[in-house]
DNA sequence: GTTGTTACCTGTACGC
DNA sequence: TGCGTACAGGTAACAA
């Protein structure tokens, strides 16, 4: 499931490969993936030149000579160079020097013209964040997952950051010192994950089909009933904000 | 405006 | 082996 570190890894690979390239044609094999687009990308994109590729939260933004294209990988989206189309290929971008496939088994991802959805997001989680933004009544885990507060954090890194900060996922209205500690943990865990090219938990791979390795460093996520790496207490799993949530009942208060 | 719940979607794991 | 069911979690839409 691509969160900020996985998308950052992909964007770093896409940039050098796409900058300056021209889009020759686009074939949309599954119309559902363009459900958010008010413009038909198959007719709008051919002939356009790619200026740059950047990221905001979990969104990939491809800057063109006449606007931009936004890609969200959802749960299972993949962008692959030099790959053969398969049963889950949802779109094929033919460029002047090759092709780029968009594969997505569950089709939670989306491709659209413009940046309407990106414009509504909160600040990127890797930028300077204000602890005041975390001052909310909802469970702190739900606050971290709220992309309008700040964008890029998903279920894995929310659990990992809360563990490092020693904060229980169900805490509410946390104090400023605790919020500052949490923001530092968010920054630390995201940067560490980027160094390891993200976490490959289900089927995340980069543009060359390679897996990340940060899942080997998870301290709580997907470690239910295993001993806490700090105190040995079994890691518990509960549901918070409708998501599987892993934490150490002793280390996190 | 804020918060919580549900739907969408399909592969995988599990029990029978 | 084959079938049915639960689960995983990204965002959007809806209800309270």
**Model confidence at A229: pLDDT above 70:** yes
pLDDT at A225: 86
A228-to-A25, A163, A165, A189, A234 alpha-carbon distances in Å? 51, 10, 14, 17, 6
- Which tens digit of pLDDT belongs to each residue from A26-63? 999 988 899 888 889 999 999 999 999 999 999 999 99
Backbone angles phi, psi at A145, to 5 degrees: -80, -15
- The gap between A163 CA and C12 C1' (Å) is 29
**Model confidence at A212: pLDDT above 70:** yes
Q: What is the mean pLDDT of residues A151-174?
A: 93
- Assess whether A156 (CB) lies less than 7 A from strand C: yes
Tell me how far apart the alpha carbons of residues A194 and A8 are, in angstroms, rounded to a whole number: 7
**Model confidence at A203: pLDDT above 70:** no
Instruction: Specify the nucleotide whose C1' lies closest to residue A153 (CA).
Output: C10
**Model confidence at A223: pLDDT above 70:** yes
- Which tens digit of pLDDT belongs to each residue from A84-129? 888 889 999 999 999 999 999 888 899 999 988 898 888 999 988 8
- The gap between A240 CA and B1 C1' (Å) is 22
Q: How confident is the model at residue A14 (pLDDT cuts 50, 70, 90)?
A: very high
* pTM for this entry: 0.94
Task: For tokens 């968009």, name the residue.
Answer: A102
């Amino acid at each position: 499931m691509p969160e900020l570190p996985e998308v950052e890894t992909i964007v770093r690979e896409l940039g050098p490969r796409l900058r300056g390239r021209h889009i020759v044609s686009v074939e949309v094999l599954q119309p559902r993936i363009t459900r958010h687009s008010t413009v038909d990308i198959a007719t709008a994109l051919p002939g356009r030149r790619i200026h740059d590729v950047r990221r905001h939260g979990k969104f990939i933004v491809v800057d063109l000579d006449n606007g931009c294209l936004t890609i969200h990988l959802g749960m299972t989206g993949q962008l692959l160079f030099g790959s053969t189309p398969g049963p889950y290929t949802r779109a094929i971008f033919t460029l002047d020097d090759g092709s780029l496939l968009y594969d997505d088994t569950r089709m939670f991802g989306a491709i659209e013209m413009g940046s309407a959805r990106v414009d509504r997001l909160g600040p990127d989680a890797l930028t300077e964040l204000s602890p005041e933004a975390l001052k909310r009544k909802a469970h702190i885990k739900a606050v971290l997952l709220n992309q309008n507060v700040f964008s890029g954090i998903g279920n894995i890194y929310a659990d990992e950051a809360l563990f490092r900060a020693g904060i229980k996922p169900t805490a509410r209205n946390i104090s400023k010192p605790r919020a500052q500690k949490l923001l530092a943990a968010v920054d630390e865990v995201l940067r560490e994950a980027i160094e390891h090219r993200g976490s490959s938990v289900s089927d995340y791979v980069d543009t060359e089909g390679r897996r990340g390795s940060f899942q080997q460093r998870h301290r709580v996520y997907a470690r239910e009933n295993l001993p806490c790496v700090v105190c040995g207490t079994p890691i518990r799993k509960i549901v918070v904000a409708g998501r599987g949530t892993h934490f150490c009942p002793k280390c996190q208060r």
